[in-house]
Amino acid sequence: MQRYILRNKNKIILINGILIAIGFLVNWTTGDTVVFRWSLIIASIFGVAPIVLQAYQALKVKVVSIDVLVTIAVLGAFLIQNYEEAAIVTFLFLFGAFLEQRTLNKTRSAIKELTEMAPESALKQLESGDFEEVEVDEVDVGDVLLVKTGAKVPVDGTVLTGEGSVNEASITGESMPIRKEKGSNVYAGTILDNGTIQIVADRVGEDTTFGKIIELVEEAQDSKSEAERFIDRFAKYYTPTVLVLAIMVWLFSRDIELAITILVLGCPGALVIGVPISNVAGIGNGARHGVLLKGSEVISDFSRLDTMVFDKTGTLTVGNPTVAEKKYYGDKTSEATDYLAGIERESDHPLSNAVLEEIGETKAVQVEDTEVVKGGGIVATVNGHRVAVGNVAVMERENIKLSGSARADVERFEKNGNSLVLTAIDGELKILMGVRDQIRPRIKEDLQRLKRLGVKNLIMLSGDNQGTVDVVSRELGLTKAHGNMLPEDKSAYIKKLIEEGQIVAFVGDGVNDSPSLAIAQIGVAMGSGTDVAIETSDIVLMNSDFSRLPHALGLAKATARNMKQNILIAIGVVLVLLVSLLFSDWMNMSIGMLVHEGSILVVILNGMRLLRFSLRR
């Protein structure tokens, strides 16, 4: 019976409302008080049934909930034969609860949309080479799958054959199709707009990026902030206090109606619903815009930050170094270029790719006796010649003498923010290249937006040389910039800032910066949803789009502000109602309950504004 009643609460609300309407309609048209009276009695009984059950369940776990107060108030109204107020109070209370649940469901629409995007089937390659449609749960890592135009990518994988354009809005928030070809990564839940591709499954089920996004956003929406925990504690003690106050009023005044009215007016309904609505709506907005906020506690801390620390490579810069400047010395430059390319193919250093891309096709050479100079470069024998490739320290180690003009070039290249790649053959400098990463487009504007949002300190920490770091810092207008820093140096620096009392957010790529992401009060990962980024950080910008960072900060501030507004509205309404009850003649139980439900509707609508939040440029 209990389950049946609670499962059919919406039908009970409807019956309750119809009976109240019939009673008042008959009374106004015919003056029949018997029908009026019994309609309200039956409406009250129907309406109070689910409330009594919820009160009983709360008392079983030793919690004096709002349902307990309303139950006592309705029973008291029956005792003094005020059936009109008993019926209206039950209807308004149940209808308010209905509105709360409906609104919470609506604010969770971002999760519902994500869940609906989850793929259900896949075309899996059989041993015969044919493809068969199977449930996505039947796909294992290593399986080869076929994805056709218009189909959802079923797993995280790598393209084996074919090409096409994929809509990655479910992962990144961007609807612009991304071109995919052999070797490209694809993600579950994205849609192949055109083309046909075969992929090998790298991650399946809950291990996919899409699965983790859904899991983490759901966890975030269920988490509680400090404000919510405070309200839980407040309600735990506030509700019994109201009950004791009502009893004392009755003992001293012997006015049972006044005591019952205090119970009704003291219900903190708007206070209990206001903060969760803001929290869920804010996280839902972030999910729709490719920003993963992992919990309301993160929102609270992020909204108060005053210092933002950035990694350079892959965060402030594109993360794809290119040769920006070069200079040749002496003759036989073509031969020197061939030797340089031969050695760089032996290296896995990030600058090697930039150099090889700049050189292009070269003649094959024989590289022998390769010696890697840690933190410097490579020395090897190429076609019988001793060749040294690396920075100035390698040149000094090999006793390579730099002419006055070469030293001037080195100084100029470093001043322009380049990392240096020098090439010497048999003791003579032949090539000087300056490699630098490109600053992200429009990032200066985004940094200015962060300043306008209240971030006082913008600091860059990088493993690159100080000259390069200073150039980037000047161009972007940062507060401070430190180069030549190892991952442990970065985390120590952040720890120092926190000890000084600053609220620090660290923004990195989520790979080598995971210690810093973990130590900072707020870790923000630029990682296109990589495993390390999602696991380590508090906030993930799913498509590594830096412009989402100001939106995330603005949203966090708007959400925190919205929570405070809802708390003030809820407490203000209760105080006004109680004061009106004590110092006016017009306040009664029905009017008070109507105002109460109105305040719940106000905090709901105020919280839902966050679903439409967009940071103005």
Residues labelled as active-site residues: 311
Strand partners, 199: 145, 159
Q: What is residue 153's DSSP assignment?
A: P
Beta-strand pair 377-382/385-390: antiparallel
- What does the alpha-carbon distance between residue 509 and residue 437 come to, in Å, rounded to a whole number? 15
Q: Which residues of 37-60 are buried (b: 16+ CB within 10 A; e: fewer)?
A: eebbbbbbbbbbbbbbbbbeebee
**Chain centre to alpha carbon of residue 160:** 32
- What does the alpha-carbon distance between residue 188 and residue 444 come to, in Å, rounded to a whole number? 33
Closest alpha carbon to 341 in 430, 465, 418: 430
Beta-strand pair 419-425/428-436: antiparallel
Task: Measure CA of the first residue to CA of the last residue in the chain; give whole Å.
Answer: 56
Q: How far is CA 195 from CA 182, 188, 209, 581, in A?
A: 13, 17, 23, 70
**Chain centre to alpha carbon of residue 113:** 16
Strand partners, 317: 439
3-state secondary structure of 50: helix
Q: Which two tokens stand for residue 251?
A: 């003992």
Is residue 310 within a helix (H) or strand (E), and if so which, with residue range? Answer: strand 307-311
Are residues 148 and 192 in contact, defined by beta-carbon separation less than 8 angstroms?
yes
3-state secondary structure of 367: strand
3-state secondary structure of 542: coil
Give the 3-state secondary structure percentages of the chain, helix then strand then coil, rounded to 5: 55, 20, 25
- What does the alpha-carbon distance between residue 222 and residue 232 come to, in Å, rounded to a whole number? 14
Q: Which two tokens stand for residue 479?
A: 């507060």
